[in-house]
Copies of this chain bind each other. A is one copy, B any other.
Amino acid sequence: MEIIRIPRIMREITKDLRAKGKSIGFVPTMGALHEGHLSLIKRAKQENDTTVVSIFVNPTQFAPGEDYEKYPRDIESDKEKLQKMEIDYLFLPDVESLYPQGYSTYVTVEGLSDKLCGKFRPGHFRGVATIVCKLFNIVRPSRAYFGQKDYQQSLIIKRMIDDLNFDIEIIVCPTIRENDGLAMSSRNLYLNEEERKAASVIYKALQEGEKLLKQGINPSDVTLEMLKILKKEPLVREIQYAGVFDPLTLEEVKEKQKRYLLAIALKIGDTRLIDNFIVELN
Protein backbone atom coordinates (compact mmCIF):
# COMPACT_ATOMS: atom_id res chain seq x y z
CA MET A 1 0.00 0.00 0.00
CA GLU A 2 1.36 3.37 -1.04
CA ILE A 3 0.37 6.50 0.88
CA ILE A 4 -0.10 9.62 -1.26
CA ARG A 5 -0.59 13.03 0.32
CA ILE A 6 -0.36 15.46 -2.62
CA PRO A 7 -3.46 15.77 -4.83
CA ARG A 8 -1.41 16.44 -7.98
CA ILE A 9 0.63 13.29 -7.44
CA MET A 10 -2.46 11.16 -6.80
CA ARG A 11 -3.89 12.56 -10.03
CA GLU A 12 -0.77 11.63 -11.99
CA ILE A 13 -0.72 8.10 -10.58
CA THR A 14 -4.32 7.36 -11.53
CA LYS A 15 -3.77 9.01 -14.92
CA ASP A 16 -0.94 6.57 -15.60
CA LEU A 17 -3.08 3.66 -14.45
CA ARG A 18 -5.90 4.66 -16.79
CA ALA A 19 -3.43 5.04 -19.66
CA LYS A 20 -2.40 1.42 -18.98
CA GLY A 21 -6.05 0.39 -19.24
CA LYS A 22 -6.44 -0.38 -15.53
CA SER A 23 -9.84 0.05 -13.90
CA ILE A 24 -9.83 2.02 -10.65
CA GLY A 25 -12.15 1.40 -7.70
CA PHE A 26 -12.43 4.31 -5.27
CA VAL A 27 -13.72 4.41 -1.70
CA PRO A 28 -13.81 7.94 -0.24
CA THR A 29 -13.97 7.92 3.58
CA MET A 30 -13.50 10.19 6.58
CA GLY A 31 -11.49 7.51 8.38
CA ALA A 32 -12.25 5.84 11.73
CA LEU A 33 -12.81 2.82 9.52
CA HIS A 34 -15.36 0.19 10.56
CA GLU A 35 -16.82 -2.93 8.99
CA GLY A 36 -19.07 -0.80 6.81
CA HIS A 37 -16.08 0.87 5.14
CA LEU A 38 -14.27 -2.44 4.87
CA SER A 39 -17.20 -3.99 3.01
CA LEU A 40 -17.02 -1.19 0.43
CA ILE A 41 -13.29 -1.71 0.04
CA LYS A 42 -13.73 -5.45 -0.36
CA ARG A 43 -16.23 -4.88 -3.14
CA ALA A 44 -13.97 -2.29 -4.81
CA LYS A 45 -11.10 -4.77 -4.77
CA GLN A 46 -13.26 -7.49 -6.32
CA GLU A 47 -14.46 -5.31 -9.18
CA ASN A 48 -11.35 -3.30 -10.15
CA ASP A 49 -7.68 -3.68 -11.08
CA THR A 50 -6.62 -1.00 -8.62
CA THR A 51 -8.18 0.20 -5.37
CA VAL A 52 -7.79 3.71 -3.98
CA VAL A 53 -9.13 4.64 -0.54
CA SER A 54 -9.12 8.23 0.65
CA ILE A 55 -9.25 9.40 4.25
CA PHE A 56 -10.14 13.06 4.65
CA VAL A 57 -12.30 14.64 7.34
CA ASN A 58 -13.87 17.25 5.10
CA PRO A 59 -14.43 20.54 6.95
CA THR A 60 -16.89 21.98 4.40
CA GLN A 61 -19.50 19.31 5.11
CA PHE A 62 -19.76 20.08 8.81
CA ALA A 63 -22.26 22.79 9.68
CA PRO A 64 -21.19 25.40 12.26
CA GLY A 65 -21.39 23.90 15.75
CA GLU A 66 -21.19 20.32 14.50
CA ASP A 67 -18.54 17.77 15.44
CA TYR A 68 -15.76 18.61 12.96
CA GLU A 69 -13.17 19.12 15.69
CA LYS A 70 -14.02 16.02 17.67
CA TYR A 71 -14.83 13.72 14.76
CA PRO A 72 -13.00 10.44 15.49
CA ARG A 73 -9.53 10.29 13.89
CA ASP A 74 -7.41 7.18 14.27
CA ILE A 75 -5.10 7.17 11.32
CA GLU A 76 -2.65 4.57 12.64
CA SER A 77 -5.36 1.98 13.20
CA ASP A 78 -6.91 2.90 9.81
CA LYS A 79 -3.61 2.36 8.04
CA GLU A 80 -3.24 -1.07 9.62
CA LYS A 81 -6.70 -2.11 8.49
CA LEU A 82 -6.06 -0.90 4.95
CA GLN A 83 -2.69 -2.61 4.79
CA LYS A 84 -4.30 -5.87 5.85
CA MET A 85 -6.86 -5.46 3.08
CA GLU A 86 -4.01 -4.96 0.59
CA ILE A 87 -5.39 -1.87 -1.09
CA ASP A 88 -3.08 -0.19 -3.62
CA TYR A 89 -3.23 3.47 -2.63
CA LEU A 90 -4.26 5.41 0.46
CA PHE A 91 -4.91 9.03 -0.47
CA LEU A 92 -4.36 11.10 2.66
CA PRO A 93 -4.41 14.82 1.80
CA ASP A 94 -4.35 17.61 4.38
CA VAL A 95 -6.93 20.38 4.55
CA GLU A 96 -4.58 23.02 3.16
CA SER A 97 -3.88 21.04 -0.01
CA LEU A 98 -7.57 20.57 -0.83
CA TYR A 99 -8.81 23.97 0.38
CA PRO A 100 -5.87 26.35 -0.08
CA GLN A 101 -6.04 30.06 0.71
CA GLY A 102 -8.51 31.71 -1.69
CA TYR A 103 -10.51 28.55 -2.32
CA SER A 104 -13.95 29.58 -3.63
CA THR A 105 -15.69 26.91 -5.75
CA TYR A 106 -18.71 24.95 -4.54
CA VAL A 107 -20.98 22.37 -6.10
CA THR A 108 -24.65 22.39 -5.14
CA VAL A 109 -27.32 19.83 -5.92
CA GLU A 110 -30.51 21.82 -5.51
CA GLY A 111 -33.73 20.34 -4.15
CA LEU A 112 -32.47 17.02 -2.80
CA SER A 113 -29.93 18.80 -0.59
CA ASP A 114 -32.63 20.65 1.36
CA LYS A 115 -34.62 17.56 2.33
CA LEU A 116 -34.24 15.22 5.37
CA CYS A 117 -30.71 15.68 6.79
CA GLY A 118 -30.29 18.84 4.72
CA LYS A 119 -32.93 20.59 6.83
CA PHE A 120 -30.87 20.04 9.97
CA ARG A 121 -27.36 20.34 8.55
CA PRO A 122 -27.22 23.58 6.52
CA GLY A 123 -24.48 23.42 3.89
CA HIS A 124 -23.74 19.76 4.62
CA PHE A 125 -24.57 18.39 1.17
CA ARG A 126 -22.90 21.33 -0.57
CA GLY A 127 -19.73 20.30 1.25
CA VAL A 128 -20.27 16.66 0.32
CA ALA A 129 -20.92 17.39 -3.37
CA THR A 130 -17.90 19.70 -3.50
CA ILE A 131 -15.39 17.32 -1.92
CA VAL A 132 -16.67 14.36 -3.92
CA CYS A 133 -16.38 16.38 -7.13
CA LYS A 134 -12.79 17.26 -6.18
CA LEU A 135 -11.85 13.69 -5.22
CA PHE A 136 -13.45 12.36 -8.41
CA ASN A 137 -11.35 14.76 -10.49
CA ILE A 138 -8.21 13.71 -8.64
CA VAL A 139 -8.78 9.95 -8.73
CA ARG A 140 -11.01 9.68 -11.83
CA PRO A 141 -12.16 6.23 -10.79
CA SER A 142 -14.06 3.76 -12.94
CA ARG A 143 -16.32 3.02 -9.98
CA ALA A 144 -16.89 4.70 -6.63
CA TYR A 145 -18.41 2.97 -3.60
CA PHE A 146 -20.77 4.45 -1.01
CA GLY A 147 -22.79 3.00 1.84
CA GLN A 148 -26.56 2.70 1.82
CA LYS A 149 -26.57 4.07 5.38
CA ASP A 150 -26.00 7.53 3.89
CA TYR A 151 -28.85 7.08 1.45
CA GLN A 152 -29.48 10.77 0.81
CA GLN A 153 -25.77 11.33 0.18
CA SER A 154 -25.64 8.57 -2.43
CA LEU A 155 -28.75 9.95 -4.13
CA ILE A 156 -27.20 13.43 -4.31
CA ILE A 157 -23.88 12.09 -5.61
CA LYS A 158 -25.65 10.09 -8.32
CA ARG A 159 -27.54 13.21 -9.33
CA MET A 160 -24.28 15.18 -9.47
CA ILE A 161 -22.57 12.48 -11.53
CA ASP A 162 -25.37 12.54 -14.09
CA ASP A 163 -25.79 16.31 -14.12
CA LEU A 164 -22.09 17.13 -14.44
CA ASN A 165 -21.48 14.32 -16.96
CA PHE A 166 -18.87 12.45 -14.91
CA ASP A 167 -17.86 9.11 -16.40
CA ILE A 168 -18.03 7.20 -13.11
CA GLU A 169 -20.24 4.35 -11.94
CA ILE A 170 -21.66 4.87 -8.44
CA ILE A 171 -22.16 1.69 -6.45
CA VAL A 172 -24.19 1.76 -3.26
CA CYS A 173 -23.50 -1.15 -0.90
CA PRO A 174 -25.73 -2.54 1.87
CA THR A 175 -25.52 -1.10 5.37
CA ILE A 176 -23.42 -3.21 7.72
CA ARG A 177 -24.95 -3.62 11.18
CA GLU A 178 -23.97 -4.55 14.72
CA ASN A 179 -25.61 -7.65 16.23
CA ASP A 180 -28.52 -5.64 17.60
CA GLY A 181 -29.10 -3.99 14.22
CA LEU A 182 -27.42 -0.63 14.86
CA ALA A 183 -25.93 0.62 11.58
CA MET A 184 -22.13 0.83 11.70
CA SER A 185 -20.99 4.45 11.88
CA SER A 186 -17.84 6.20 13.03
CA ARG A 187 -20.08 8.32 15.24
CA ASN A 188 -21.16 5.24 17.25
CA LEU A 189 -17.85 5.76 19.06
CA TYR A 190 -19.44 8.80 20.75
CA LEU A 191 -22.03 6.65 22.55
CA ASN A 192 -21.61 5.54 26.16
CA GLU A 193 -22.75 2.06 27.13
CA GLU A 194 -26.28 3.04 28.03
CA GLU A 195 -26.69 5.17 24.90
CA ARG A 196 -25.27 2.38 22.78
CA LYS A 197 -27.96 0.01 24.04
CA ALA A 198 -30.69 2.58 23.50
CA ALA A 199 -29.50 3.21 19.93
CA SER A 200 -30.88 -0.11 18.72
CA VAL A 201 -34.35 1.44 18.89
CA ILE A 202 -33.66 2.96 15.46
CA TYR A 203 -33.36 -0.44 13.85
CA LYS A 204 -36.44 -1.66 15.73
CA ALA A 205 -38.50 1.25 14.41
CA LEU A 206 -37.30 0.60 10.85
CA GLN A 207 -38.12 -3.10 11.13
CA GLU A 208 -41.58 -2.35 12.46
CA GLY A 209 -42.11 0.19 9.68
CA GLU A 210 -41.13 -2.35 7.05
CA LYS A 211 -43.40 -4.99 8.56
CA LEU A 212 -46.38 -2.64 8.62
CA LEU A 213 -45.84 -1.41 5.05
CA LYS A 214 -45.69 -5.00 3.87
CA GLN A 215 -48.96 -5.66 5.71
CA GLY A 216 -50.50 -2.90 3.61
CA ILE A 217 -50.81 -0.32 6.39
CA ASN A 218 -51.09 3.24 5.16
CA PRO A 219 -47.75 5.14 5.12
CA SER A 220 -49.04 7.93 7.40
CA ASP A 221 -50.02 5.37 10.01
CA VAL A 222 -46.67 3.62 9.62
CA THR A 223 -44.91 6.92 10.32
CA LEU A 224 -46.99 7.33 13.48
CA GLU A 225 -46.12 3.83 14.67
CA MET A 226 -42.40 4.42 14.07
CA LEU A 227 -42.52 7.68 16.03
CA LYS A 228 -44.33 5.90 18.87
CA ILE A 229 -41.53 3.31 19.13
CA LEU A 230 -38.80 5.95 19.09
CA LYS A 231 -40.52 8.12 21.68
CA LYS A 232 -40.77 5.20 24.10
CA GLU A 233 -36.95 5.18 24.39
CA PRO A 234 -36.11 7.73 27.13
CA LEU A 235 -32.56 8.41 25.84
CA VAL A 236 -33.86 9.59 22.46
CA ARG A 237 -33.45 13.32 22.84
CA GLU A 238 -34.46 14.81 19.50
CA ILE A 239 -36.18 13.11 16.57
CA GLN A 240 -35.19 15.18 13.52
CA TYR A 241 -37.21 13.05 11.12
CA ALA A 242 -38.65 9.58 11.11
CA GLY A 243 -41.11 7.93 8.80
CA VAL A 244 -41.97 7.01 5.25
CA PHE A 245 -40.48 8.96 2.34
CA ASP A 246 -40.21 8.71 -1.42
CA PRO A 247 -36.87 7.10 -2.38
CA LEU A 248 -36.35 9.47 -5.33
CA THR A 249 -37.75 12.84 -4.20
CA LEU A 250 -37.22 12.34 -0.42
CA GLU A 251 -40.68 13.86 0.15
CA GLU A 252 -42.90 12.44 2.86
CA VAL A 253 -45.22 9.75 1.51
CA LYS A 254 -48.83 9.64 2.70
CA GLU A 255 -50.44 7.43 0.09
CA LYS A 256 -49.50 3.87 -0.85
CA GLN A 257 -46.90 3.33 -3.56
CA LYS A 258 -44.51 0.56 -4.68
CA ARG A 259 -41.19 1.68 -3.20
CA TYR A 260 -40.59 3.48 0.05
CA LEU A 261 -37.68 4.95 1.92
CA LEU A 262 -37.96 4.46 5.66
CA ALA A 263 -35.59 6.95 7.24
CA ILE A 264 -34.72 8.16 10.72
CA ALA A 265 -32.41 10.83 12.11
CA LEU A 266 -32.28 11.47 15.84
CA LYS A 267 -30.05 12.36 18.71
CA ILE A 268 -29.16 10.10 21.57
CA GLY A 269 -27.35 12.26 24.06
CA ASP A 270 -25.29 14.58 21.87
CA THR A 271 -24.81 11.97 19.16
CA ARG A 272 -26.72 12.33 15.92
CA LEU A 273 -27.53 8.98 14.31
CA ILE A 274 -29.18 8.13 11.00
CA ASP A 275 -30.40 4.98 9.35
CA ASN A 276 -32.78 3.85 6.61
CA PHE A 277 -34.39 0.93 4.81
CA ILE A 278 -35.60 0.74 1.23
CA VAL A 279 -38.87 -1.20 1.17
CA GLU A 280 -40.11 -2.64 -2.08
CA LEU A 281 -43.55 -4.21 -2.34
CA ASN A 282 -44.23 -6.93 -4.88
Contacts and interface: CB of A to CB of B under 8 A. Distances in A.
Centre residue among A18, A134, A160, A167 by max chain B CB count within 10 A: A167
A241 to B, nearest CB: 21
B109 A167 contact: no
Interface residues of A, number: 28
A138 B165 contact: yes
In the complex, the count of this chain's copies comes to 2
B107 A105 contact: yes
A218 to B, nearest CB: 28
A137 B165 contact: yes
A48 interface: no
A201 to B, nearest CB: 34
A16 to B, nearest CB: 12
A133 B164 contact: yes
A11 interface: yes
Given A15-B167, A164-B134, A108 B110 contact: no
B166 A137 contact: yes
Contacts of A160: 105
Interface in A146-200: 159-160, 163-167
Contacts of A104: 109-112, 159, 163
Nearest to A165: B137
Contacts of A120: none
Contacts of A159: 104-105
Given A104-B110, A106-B108, 15 more contacts: A7-B165, A103-B163, A104-B111, A104-B112, A105-B107, A105-B159, A105-B163, A105-B164, A107-B107, A133-B164, A134-B163, A134-B165, A137-B164, A137-B165, A138-B165
